[in-house]
Amino acid sequence: MSRQGQVKNRAPAPIQISAEQILREAADRQEKHVLAPTVKIHDAEEYQSHLRDRRKHFEDNIRYRREHIGNWVKYAKFEEENKEFERARSVFERALEVEHRSSELWLRYAEYEMRNEFVNHARNVFDRAVQLLPRVDFLWYKYVYMEEMVGDIPKCRAVFERWMKWMPDDNAYLAYSRFETRCDQFDRAQQVMRRYVNAYPCSRSFLRFAKWAEFEAKDVPLARTVFEATLSDLEPEEAKQARVFKQFSSFEERQGEYERARVIYKH
């Protein structure tokens, strides 16, 4: 048997140390946090000198770790804080030459443009990003969110249509239908949901369509039609799932159609 790891002396130590003492000693030995000195600038010449020093610091960091996105973002943030918007934009463009497939970098770039209300520049950044990375959903979400916030409904709808060509997941279709619902375009929203169930013909999509019809569109007949289509149009292994019958019967109960709910439960 190996002797390694065996304790030879099991007697208690002559000096016992409590956990409180260990923590107190650790706190006493911590180095004091030293704040960076405050730089006071008195004239334009000193200000320009300060900018040059800071830029040299950021450029040195980039040379040391060129592929580290954080260095580029901090550099651009510094230029933004000093209202040097063209320089900040130039930093982001240089960063994209190094790592053009970084979705996080594209997002930071677009958020910078939006934060400073350069809407057309932000559109340009998002447009380039989704062309290069069409499978990254959060870029599309941010793109349509920006268009809706600036009130350009046709452009927002056009972006959604571009997104739908890539067959995104079901949440993208739901976001599109809710956008049309917020615009009081219920017919368009319903068309989006029909496209959704055609793209993903499964019980999950049909049940989400029915839920949308009942709670968001407030269209009870449509919701009932969708539930019935779930049972008749889908494959048996999809249509016969317990959750389909449970949600259908619960829907009928909410409408006060207890006889209908009873018939569904019998199946």
Query: What pLDDT does residue 25 have?
Result: 81
Q: CB under 8 Å to 132, separation ≥6 — which residues? A: 100, 101, 106
Query: What pLDDT does residue 7 have?
Result: 60
Question: Residue range 243-251: average pLDDT?
Answer: 93
pLDDT exceeds cutoff 70 at 256: yes
pLDDT exceeds cutoff 80 at 101: yes
Q: Per-residue pLDDT tens for 25-79?
A: 887 887 776 666 776 777 788 888 889 999 999 999 999 988 899 999 999 999 9
Q: CB under 8 Å to 58, separation ≥6 — which residues? A: 71, 74, 75, 78
Band (226; pLDDT cuts 50, 70, 90):
very high
Band (4; pLDDT cuts 50, 70, 90):
low
Portion of the chain with pLDDT greater than 70, in percent? 94
Query: What pLDDT does residue 61 have?
Result: 92
Query: What pLDDT does residue 32 have?
Result: 73
Band (6; pLDDT cuts 50, 70, 90):
low
- Across the chain, mean pLDDT equals 91
Query: What pLDDT does residue 18 have?
Result: 77
Q: SS3 for the chain, per residue?
A: CCCCCCCCCCCCCCCCCCHHHHHHHHHHHCCCCCCCCCCCCCCHHHHHHHHHHHHHHHHHHHHHCCCCHHHHHHHHHHHHHCCCHHHHHHHHHHHHHHCCCCHHHHHHHHHHHHHCCCHHHHHHHHHHHHHHCCCCHHHHHHHHHHHHHCCCHHHHHHHHHHHHCCCCCHHHHHHHHHHHHHCCCHHHHHHHHHHHHHHCCCHHHHHHHHHHHHHHCCCHHHHHHHHHHHHHHCCHHHHCCHHHHHHHHHHHHHCCCHHHHHHHHHC
The backbone region for 221, taken as left when phi is positive above 0, alpha when psi lies in -120 to 50, beta otherwise, is alpha
Question: Residue range 213-226: average pLDDT?
Answer: 94
Query: What pLDDT does residue 211 have?
Result: 95
Q: CB under 8 Å to 46, separation ≥6 — which residues? A: none
pLDDT exceeds cutoff 90 at 5: no
pLDDT exceeds cutoff 80 at 2: no
pLDDT exceeds cutoff 70 at 141: yes
Greater model confidence, 13 or 129:
129
The model carries a pTM of 0.81
pLDDT exceeds cutoff 90 at 158: yes
Band (11; pLDDT cuts 50, 70, 90):
confident
Query: What pLDDT does residue 259 have?
Result: 92
The residue written with tokens 């007949």 in the block is 221
Query: What pLDDT does residue 212 have?
Result: 95
